[in-house]
Amino acid sequence: MAAKIRLVRKGKKNRPFYRIIVVSDEKDGRGDVIEILGHYDPLKEPAEFQIKPERLHYWLKTGAQPSETVKSFIRKNNLIS
């Protein structure tokens, strides 16, 4: 099973909040989420980004592909060596 690590938007109108999820390649991420890895809140000062590093490494080892946005967050927070 191919998996992706991506963001899914939650929250209200004019108040975005994103979850970092692992989802099957064939799904849209709205209901069939395999695991929630963390969250991202862009409206806090500074923007809040939290992720479970041990679970992130597990999913990357199993072949899950992060989206470009998630990849940039991972690089910014030095989670991949």
> What digits encode the pLDDT tens for the residues 1-33?
689 999 999 999 999 999 999 998 876 666 688
Query: Does residue 65 fall inside a structural domain?
Result: yes
* CATH code, 44: 3.30.1320.10
pLDDT of residue 50: 93
Q: Given pLDDT bands bounded at 50, 70 and 90, which one contains residue 81?
A: low
Domain membership of residue 25 as a residue range: 3-76
Query: Does residue 23 fall inside a structural domain?
Result: yes
Query: Does residue 17 fall inside a structural domain?
Result: yes
Q: How many CB atoms lie within 10 A of CB 40?
A: 20
CA 39, 72, 51 angle in degrees (round to 5)?
25
Query: Does residue 15 fall inside a structural domain?
Result: yes
Query: Does residue 81 fall inside a structural domain?
Result: no
Residue located via tokens 């939650």:
10
Partners of 19 in beta bridges: 8, 39
Does residue 65 register a pLDDT over 90?
yes
Count structural domains, the chain. 1
Does residue 40 register a pLDDT over 90?
yes
pLDDT of residue 25: 80
Provide the whole-model pTM.
Answer: 0.86
Separation between Cα atoms, residue 44 and residue 28, nearest integer Å: 27
Separation between Cα atoms, residue 27 and residue 12, nearest integer Å: 23
Query: Does residue 47 fall inside a structural domain?
Result: yes
